[in-house]
């Protein structure tokens, strides 16, 4: 199903490509990356932000290598096919990345039952009702 959605997205979005070489449009890095990481440099140090920047930096290096490889191809159909492969791989990596981030968020939040405000461990309302019903000074 994911592959179908990726291919459908490729067919529906024709305006996400740059340099038109021999009638073949070349994918751009900015179309696959969050805007904060378009011009990411190699990160130094530790921390969550650096881990994310490191991930996008590695992806950018791999993307540029794949584009350079495609540029060396002489035949138009093979070059077009190479660019399509790069786009499909990038969309798949984005899908995997988003799924991983969503799974981390779910794990961080814990089970949803813990945050349900209607479920309490002590039914205080029931204790209060029973408590007031059996007061020692109560006249019956």
Check the CA dihedral 28-31-33-37 and report its sign. positive
Task: Quote the pTM value.
Answer: 0.60
Local mean pLDDT, 10-residue blocks, the chain (140 residues): 47 45 80 89 74 90 95 91 95 94 85 56 54 53
pLDDT of residue 108: 82
Q: How far apart are the first and last CA of the chain?
A: 70
């Amino acid at each position: 199903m994911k592959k179908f959605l990726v291919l459908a997205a490729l067919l529906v979005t024709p305006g996400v490509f740059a340099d038109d070489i021999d009638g073949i449009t070349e994918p751009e890095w900015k179309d696959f990356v969050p805007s904060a990481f378009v011009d990411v440099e190699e990160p130094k140090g530790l921390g969550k932000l650096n881990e994310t920047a490191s991930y996008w930096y590695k992806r950018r290096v791999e993307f540029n290598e794949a584009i350079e490889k495609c540029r060396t191809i002489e035949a138009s159909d093979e070059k077009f096919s190479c660019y399509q492969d790069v786009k499909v791989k990038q969309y798949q990596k984005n899908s995997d990345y988003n799924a991983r981030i969503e799974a981390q968020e779910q794990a961080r939040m814990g089970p949803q039952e813990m945050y349900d405000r209607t479920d309490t461990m002590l039914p205080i309302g029931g204790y209060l009702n029973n408590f007031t019903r059996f007061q020692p000074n109560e006249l019956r």
